[in-house]
Structure formats: structure tokens, C-alpha cells
Homo-oligomer: A and B are copies of this chain.
């Protein structure tokens, strides 16, 4: 694949998400050659995918060309390709664009939607883990209402206008809240011929509370906020099956054409490693993020499971963990390449947060749990600062201010080829 052979050790990184990107930025390329693989040519800021899916932001505001982010790094090479297999005996990976040898390999492949083996749900539901899925979801939501106009069958309209979101984590809560805002402020104006009050948003959670990973206060407040926005929250509700028309659960049946599956993820593994994966497919790593049984293979981010006394099942699959591990491993590899000793990874909990809607968010900091307008302002500020570049920050800020003043979400285009009329007719 035409990667130059130079007189420096080669670090191969698989995945340009939060972990892989931070690692690539941190590595000192005077000491090594870095080759980054990703199947997309961009990094996705996943926390805001739900705003793309609900017409609040354009996809280009939350995705960044990886080449652009890393353009000033020498001895750095990006390849848009999927890594198919690792041959750890030969220190070599095989990819869709050929083979490459490595000195150090870092697996930062992240996580994918977990359907827990339920094939019907995998086939018929919608997921929101990638940029393309989010754009498709936006098209699906809007297309449903266009279709609802063309039928007088109330059962059919109900299926088109009902949305069932499974999974009461941050993704499910944020998406439910954003859909509720579409229902309140946008859809009644866009579709005066439809009785939008009949649109129902159901949020289903298998455990006994939503935002289970957050504080009791966050759970209670977010439930209150969701109720205020008209979302039906169903806890202790297990999904059993979905045929594309009706969701069967342990509580009742929900007729809908749109089941959005945000109930869980599992790590995306690369083939060829002999280390036995743990729960949710995650790779066990030591305190230096080195994969057990290997000397030159590391794992960071969602795919890695660092066990500590406080977190016997591994650290949570969060962007903040991924960024910290990427930075730590980068610094450690820089040390190792200079024959210095690496330092163990210590996770610093910087807090978790979720937004429910306009002026409504919940925030858990180590020193403070709060909810409401103040939490919402913190949420906005933190997410703005986390965006990769200045241009995106300005554009996201303008979109947010615009939406806030005008009660509007402007990006309501149906552009997915899957739902375009030209293709389907």
C-alpha cells in the first residue's frame, strides 16, 4: 500500500475515533512512523449524532476529515480502509488495501450496536452509531410524515407517526427529547394536515431506571423532563421481538414502523487475536493498555477493558475514557520509544451529562449533580469546546442559537438515497 519504509519503528492504529485520533495526535512522529486506518475518511463526534438525526445539525458540522486534522504531522500516513485481520506471529495486518507490518499495533476500533442475538430486531430496527445511519434516520423520520399524509387509514398513520426508542441511556434519552421537540415546535407547522398530537414517542428501558449510569438525581430529573416533553417512559420493559410493524415487549405491544435501537453496544473486534475477549467482546488490557498475552499490541477506548477495584467490569464506554487512554498511550509509547518506562493509566472522572431538550439537561460532576437550565448551559458549552475545529464551533453555535430563538430545526432535508422517491419508484 505504498507506505514508505523509513528507519523508525512503525505504529499502526486501527480506528480514528476519540481514542485513535487522540493517540495519533499525541505520538511524537520524530520517534516513529504512524499509520492510521479507518473505514471512513472522517472522525465522527458521536455525542451529537442524535442532533443530526433530528434535523438540528448538518452532518458536516460534527464530522472532520482525518487528513485535515492531522495534516501537519510528518511521518504520518492515513489509509481509508478496513483492517481485516491481525497476524501477530508475523507482526502484520491485512486490510482491504493490502498488508502492512507493524512494530506496535493499537486497536481502537470502538463499539458497534449490540442486538443481543435478536435477528429480527437487527433486520427491522434503525441504529444511530454512524454518521450515515444518523442521516438515514433523519430521512426516515421525515419521510414517515410525508407518507402519513397519503393514507386515511388511522392504524397506518399511527404506525408511521409512532416512534419507539429502546435503551434509556444517554443516546436514547437525548434522542427521545429531540423527537419530542420536533413534535412540539416543528411538525405541527410543517404538516398542518396531520394531527401531530397523535404522534407518540416511547422510550423503553429494560432496567428499573433511565440513565442508570448516572446519579439518582439525574435519573429522577431526566424522567421528569421527558414527561414534561410528552415522552412515554417505560422502565422494566423488555423488548421481545419486532417484525417491522409491531414491537412486542414484556409489557404491551407498540405498533410502529420505526424502532430505534439504542439498547447497547459491543466492542468491534479485529480477527486474528488469540486473547480471549471479555464481556461485550472487550479486550482485557493491563494498566498500560497492553492487550493480555501480547507485548506490542495495545487496545484503547470502548474496545479495551481495564479492570480496577472500583470498576470490576471495565471502565464505562465513554468518549472521555477513550480520549484519556489515547493520550496516555501516546505519551507511554513516546516514552517507550525513548527507552523510558511507561506510566500506568489512571482514569479521571470528568463527569457525565445528558441533555433532554431546550433548557433541560442533567449533569453529574464528581463534586456536583444538577439538572435544568444551568446544567443545559454547561452541556452546551462543554460540547462546543469538545468540537474539533473552530469553524465547526461557530457553525454549531449559530445553529443552536438559531434553533433556540426561532424554536426551529432547519436541516429537514430528506437526502438519503434509501428513502428518495427517485430510487424507490
Nearest CB on B from A418, distance (A): 8
Q: Which residues of the partner chain B approach A402 to less than 8 Å between Cβ atoms? A: 391
A402 to B398, CA, bound (A): 15
Q: Which residue of B41, B68, B418 is within 8 Å of A414 (Cβ)?
A: B41
A387 on the B face (CB < 8 A):
no
A343 to B414, CA, bound (A): 38
Complex contact B421–A68 (CB within 8 A): no
Assuming the contacts A150-B1, A421-B96, A425-B96, asked whether A412 and B71 have C-beta atoms less than 8 A apart, the reply is no
Q: Which residue of B63, B391, B410, B425 is within 8 Å of A68 (Cβ)?
A: B410
- CB closest residue in chain B, given A74: B192
A68 to B409, CA, bound (A): 10
- CB closest residue in chain B, given A44: B413
A79 on the B face (CB < 8 A):
yes
Q: Mark A152-189, 1 if CB is under 8 A from B, else 0.
A: 10000000000000000000000000000000000001
How large, as a class, is the contact surface on chain A?
35 or more
- CB closest residue in chain B, given A80: B146
Contact residues of A between 385 and 404, Cβ < 8 Å to B: 389, 391, 394-395, 398-399, 402
Complex contact A399–B410 (CB within 8 A): no
A396 to B72, CA, bound (A): 26
Q: Which residue of B41, B189, B190 is within 8 Å of A412 (Cβ)?
A: B41
Q: Which residues of the partner chain B approach A415 to less than 8 Å between Cβ atoms? A: 42, 59, 63, 131-132, 135
A2 on the B face (CB < 8 A):
yes
Complex contact B77–A39 (CB within 8 A): no
Q: Which residues of the partner chain B approach A258 to less than 8 Å between Cβ atoms? A: none
Q: Which residues of the partner chain B approach A82 to less than 8 Å between Cβ atoms? A: 421-422, 425
Nearest CB on B from A399, distance (A): 7
A370 to B350, CA, bound (A): 58
Copies assembled: 2
Assuming the contacts A39-B421, A399-B391, A411-B60, asked whether A149 and B2 have C-beta atoms less than 8 A apart, the reply is yes
Assuming the contacts A59-B415, A421-B81, asked whether A98 and B190 have C-beta atoms less than 8 A apart, the reply is no
Chain B CB within 10 Å, residue with most, of A65, A97, A98: A65
A152 to B410, CA, bound (A): 45
A341 on the B face (CB < 8 A):
no
- CB closest residue in chain B, given A68: B412
A206 on the B face (CB < 8 A):
no
Q: Which residues of the partner chain B approach A152 to less than 8 Å between Cβ atoms? A: 2
A142 on the B face (CB < 8 A):
yes
Complex contact A40–B398 (CB within 8 A): no
A150 to B60, CA, bound (A): 26
Q: Which residues of the partner chain B approach A81 to less than 8 Å between Cβ atoms? A: 150, 421
List 9 A-B residue pairs with CB atoms under 8 Å apart, sorted by A's residue number.
A2-B149, A40-B414, A40-B420, A60-B410, A63-B413, A67-B190, A389-B410, A395-B398, A395-B399
Please list the residues of chain A having a beta carbon within 8 angstroms of any beta carbon in chain B: 1-2, 4, 39-42, 58-61, 63, 65, 67-68, 71, 77, 79-82, 96-98, 131-132, 135, 142-143, 146, 149-152, 189-191, 193, 389, 391, 394-395, 398-399, 402, 408, 410-415, 417-418, 420-422, 425
